[in-house]
Chain A
Amino acid sequence: AQSVTQLDSQVPVFEEAPVELRCNYSSSVSVYLFWYVQYPNQGLQLLLKYLSGSTLVKGINGFEAEFNKSQTSFHLRKPSVHISDTAEYFCAVSDRANFNKFYFGSGTKLNVKP
C-alpha cells in the first residue's frame, strides 16, 4: 500500500508571501498525484493533478506543484498567497494499477495572516 507524508501539519504565512506545502509518497511504481483543498465545512476540491508529461503542473487559484520522481515528492507552491487561501490542503496518490483507490496525507492547514 501507498503512504503519503505531509511534513507540516500547520503553516502560518503572511499575506502576499510565498508558500510551499510539502508532500512525499512512498511508492516507486508509477503513480498519479493530486492536491486537494478543503475550506471550512466543505468537501475536498481538486487543485491540480499530475498524470504524466511535464513535471511542473499548474492548477487553480495560482497554485502549482512539481513532481520529483527521484525524491518521490510533489510539493505545492504559490508565489503570493491571499487571505482566501486559508484552508486545509491534502496531498493524494493513486497507483496506476488501481486508479480509484486514493491514499491521502494527513493534511496541512495553511493559515494566511494579514
Chain B
Amino acid sequence: ETGVTQTPRHLVMGMTNKKSLKCEQHLGHNAMYWYKQSAKKPLELMFVYNFKEQTENNSVPSRFSPECPNSSHLFLHLHTLQPEDSALYLCASSQAPGRGASSYNEQFFGPGTRLTVL
C-alpha cells in the first residue's frame, strides 16, 4: 500500500445514521488534514492535526467529529448529517511545517470518499 488511502471510497447514508471515514498514510508524515470538496466550490479545509494534536478546526459543525489516534491514521466520525453535507471528503498528509521555505512540505492527497446523505 502506498501514499494516502481512504476507505470507504463511496458511502450512502441516511440523516440518522452514524458512520466513520478512515484515512491512512504510509509516508511517515506527522500532519494530517480533512478537506471537503463540493461541486463548483473551492476545496474547504476542515481539520488539521499536527503530531496527533488538532491545530485547526475551520468552524466545522459538531456533526463532524475527527479523531487522530496516531500519526498514520485519521478518522472522521459522522452523525445526523444533512443532505448538504454530501460531497467528496479528501484526506491529506504532510510533514508538520518547519521554518523557512526550504523546510516546507507539500500535502499528499488520498482519492477521497464520495459521501451521499439521503
Number of interface residues, chain B, beta carbon within 8 A? 27
Report A52 CB to chain B, min CB distance, Å.
Answer: 5
Contact stretch, chosen from B13-21, B41-49, B65-73, B79-87: B41-49
User: What residues of chain B lie closer than 8 Å to A9, measured between beta carbons?
Assistant: 40
Looking across the interface, which residue of chain B has its beta carbon closest to that of A34? B106
Contact between B112 and A43 (Cβ–Cβ < 8 Å)? yes
Known A100-B48, A100-B94; judge A106-B107 contact (CB<8 A): no
- 0/1 interface trace, chain A 71-103, chain B, CB 8 Å (1 if under): 000000000000000000010100010011111
- B-contacting residues of A (Cβ < 8 Å)? 4, 9, 32, 34, 36, 41-46, 49, 51-52, 90, 92, 96, 99-107
B96 in complex: contacting residue of A42, A51, A100, A107, CB < 8 Å:
A100
Contact between B101 and A100 (Cβ–Cβ < 8 Å)? no
Report B10 CB to chain A, min CB distance, Å.
Answer: 10
Looking across the interface, which residue of chain B has its beta carbon closest to that of A4? B42
